Amino acid sequence: MVTVITDPVSGRRPSNVRALVGAVWRNNLRLRRNSASLVSALVIPGMSMLSFWVVFGHAASSAGFDYALFLMAAAMFQGVMFAAGGSAMALAVDVENGLIARMRAMPIRALVAVGGRMITDLLRSLLSLTAIVAIGLGCGAKPDSIGGLLMACLVALLMGEVLVLVFCGLSLRSAHPVQVASLIQGIELPLLMMSTAFIPLAALPDWLEPFIKHMPFSVMIDTNRAFLNGLTPGNEGWEALGWLVFGLVAGSWWVSRTFRRQA
Amino acid sequence: MPDPGMIVPAGEVALSVRDLCKTFGRGTKAKQVLMGLSFDVHPAQVVSLLGANGAGKTTLVNIASTLMLPTAGTVTVCGADVVTRPRQVRQCISLTGQFAAVDGELTGKENLIFFARLNGLSRAAAAKRADELLERFRLADAAGQRAAKYSGGMRRRLDIAASLIVEPQLLFLDEPTTGLDPLSRRELWEMVDELRGQGVAILLTTQYLDEAERLSDDIVLLREGRKVSQGSPAQLRQRFGASICKIGLDEATLAQKVATSVLPGVLGRAQDDFTVDALEVTFTALNGAEDLIAANRAIIASGIEITSTSLTPPSLDDVFLGTAFVSGTEPVEGV
């Protein structure tokens, strides 16, 4: 005689799809109730973009430079980065209060926990991008085409997903996940400043140029700018694609392993 | 046709631990926290791991619930090895850790729906199951309240309810009553009784002796990662503790006489083994009731009248303090 372990209510074996839907439902409930998270998603990247535009916009316009469009690509990236940092913090809190340990002892796939965060992060990033595009257009940014704008958004969203994987993996791996998540949130802006987000490559010192040019954030942002300006991304585009594919594949593998890591 | 990966033999041992060792760190920093531990938990049985802080209780729970790898030895849950078939193990178990692992931002009902969805229930089935559990754990009135506002007892009840969305074959309760008020503890004990009655095997870790005594069919006493002994509360008392015999007399001088001249010779003990407190003589009855009877007969034979006599069995505290903390206690084979 054998006993089959099944759910006594529905008579089904655990379903990872339902588990994933449940995780997203819970994350979204929390997101709706967390006003700080909504402010971070909807207001801060747009405010940051607006601040740069107010200070430097006039000078750039005098030189015939569409600084609003230039900033829009950076703000998009900032938006998805903040969303990913928020996801890492939410996951870190789950680790510290024992929810992740409980989930690890359940018969669900490793990616349910992180996948739930990725989907929620996608929704939050979409909200953020909507606000950024609205503010950018309000500042006078003129994307070359709707298609280019959508492609730029797509690149930003994919980069956001890679960042969620990396940040969540770092939080899961640490013995002090909330501290790590705080550190991640703290270094986001400095990292962004070390890219072509707010300053054109030509304005940087020669010795810094090669490093800044090829850092992943720069190639993503420059690819976005190419799409927004109606240009075909050159080498940056391929570099960006390489980073995205590598980040998504390696990140998923790494996070799965980290989630199921047994000391 | 059942999936062969999901079947477990019925009636077998729910948890089997054999020669389990766990070492943290390497080289000079290596710390061995479990050393050759072996015991079983059967269906409808509550086995308690009793030991001081650092005895290895939580490490064992973490290994058995697939959160940690053993260094040596084997652990099987419902016939599945925790190292080679962790997915099957996870289908048999529920884990309730030392701290209530619920989401404070969600209401009680939302928490249960969330865990039900993680367990693969549909939205409607999850809501129905959540309502059932809220009712069963007397949380229905607070179903719409955020868990962060719950009292410690309510949070713990919600935590355990979440573990029972799909009733497990083996439930781990890691110090479940720590920080609970007496009423909540009693309620939790009743719930453990109920689950045992339903055939669930339960591995309980606790530092509370009364809890271990009240709930356990079997107690595994741990000291610094080793099993010091195993048995039912009564067996452990019998094995490690000695009863205390008290004999009441009419006069203090008679009590003194009994303690110095009558009993030492009869029981073959030194005078120091007997304590006189006013009209009462107290001594440890190493042979239990036999010592009591022999002492009473000798006193009566010497013409002294006894006013009261009693034999108090050892408490589990005596056993615990005598085995879990006292350095140098040798491991004893369990029954």
Any idea where the domains of chain B sit in the sequence? 10-92+168-238, 243-313
Element (H, E) at B181: none
**Domain-embedded: residue A174:** yes
Assign B96 to helix, strand or coil.
strand
Provide the token pair at B198: 């339903």
- pLDDT in the model for residue B319: 67
**Domain-embedded: residue A9:** no
**Domain-embedded: residue A10:** no
Scanning A59-118 for CB atoms below 8 A from B yields 94, 97-99, 101-108, 112
In chain A, the residue whose alpha carbon lies closest to the alpha carbon of B111 is: A26
- Looking at this protein, which amino acid is placed at residue B109? K
Q: Is A35 within 8 Å of chain B by CB? A: no
- pLDDT in the model for residue A262: 66
Indicate whether this model's pTM tops 0.80. no
Q: Which residues in B lie closer than 8 A to residue A29 (C-beta atoms)? A: 105-106, 110
- Output the CA torsion sign for A156, A159, A161, A164: negative
CB B248 within 8 A of CB B279: yes
Task: Name which of A46, A55, A37 is nearest A74 in CA terms.
Answer: A46
Identify the bridge partners of residue B17 per DSSP, sorted by sequence position.
B39, B75
Q: Which CATH class is domain B10-92+168-238?
A: alpha beta
Kindly give, in sequence order, each residue whose CB lies less than 8 Å from that of residue B331, ignoring residues fewer than 6 positions away: B226, B227, B228, B229
- C-alpha distances (whole Å) from A193 to each of A128, A219, A244, B210, B323 are 20, 14, 21, 61, 62
Could you say which of A2, A12, A98 has the minimum Cβ distance to residue B9?
Answer: A2
Cα A196–chain centre separation: 17
- The total of structural domains in chain A comes to 1
Q: Which residues in A lie closer than 8 A to residue B162 (C-beta atoms)? A: 102
Kindly report, residue by residue over B149-200, the tens digit of the pLDDT: 998 888 988 998 999 898 899 999 998 888 778 888 888 899 899 999 999 9
When scoring A1, A6, A7 by the number of chain B Cβ atoms within 10 A, the one with the most, hence best to mutate, is: A7
DSSP summary character for residue B122 = -
Q: Which residues in B lie closer than 8 A to residue A16 (C-beta atoms)? A: 120
Phi, psi of B271 (to 5 degrees): -60, -30
**Domain-embedded: residue A1:** no
When scoring B118, B164, B165, B203 by the number of chain A Cβ atoms within 10 A, the one with the most, hence best to mutate, is: B118
- pLDDT in the model for residue B272: 86
Q: How confident is the model at residue B286 (pLDDT cuts 50, 70, 90)?
A: confident
Closest approach of B76 to chain A, Cα-based (Å):
15
Alpha-helical (H) ranges within chain B are 57-64, 86-90, 108-118, 123-136, 152-163, 182-197, 209-215, 233-240, 252-257, 263-267, 289-301, 316-320
**Domain-embedded: residue A250:** yes
pLDDT at B19 over 50: yes
**Domain-embedded: residue A4:** no
pLDDT at B26 over 50: yes
Closest approach of B88 to chain A, Cα-based (Å):
8
CB B188 within 8 A of CB B299: no
pLDDT at B294 over 70: yes
ipTM above 0.85, yes or no: no
**Domain-embedded: residue A178:** yes
Residuewise pLDDT in 10s, chain A (263 residues): 333 334 443 334 567 888 999 999 999 999 888 888 888 888 888 888 888 888 887 777 777 778 889 899 999 999 999 999 988 999 999 999 889 999 999 988 887 888 999 999 999 999 999 999 999 999 888 899 999 999 999 999 999 999 999 999 998 888 899 999 999 988 888 888 888 888 888 888 888 888 898 889 999 999 999 999 999 888 889 999 999 999 999 999 999 888 877 66
- Cβ contacts from A onto B, under 8 A: 132
Q: Which domain holds residue A44?
A: 16-199+207-259
**Domain-embedded: residue A239:** yes
Kindly report, residue by residue over B44-96, the tens digit of the pLDDT: 999 999 888 888 999 999 999 999 999 999 999 999 999 999 989 999 999 98
> Do the Cβ atoms of B117 and A21 come within 8 Å?
yes
- pLDDT in the model for residue B241: 67
Architecture of domain B243-313: 2-Layer Sandwich (3.30)
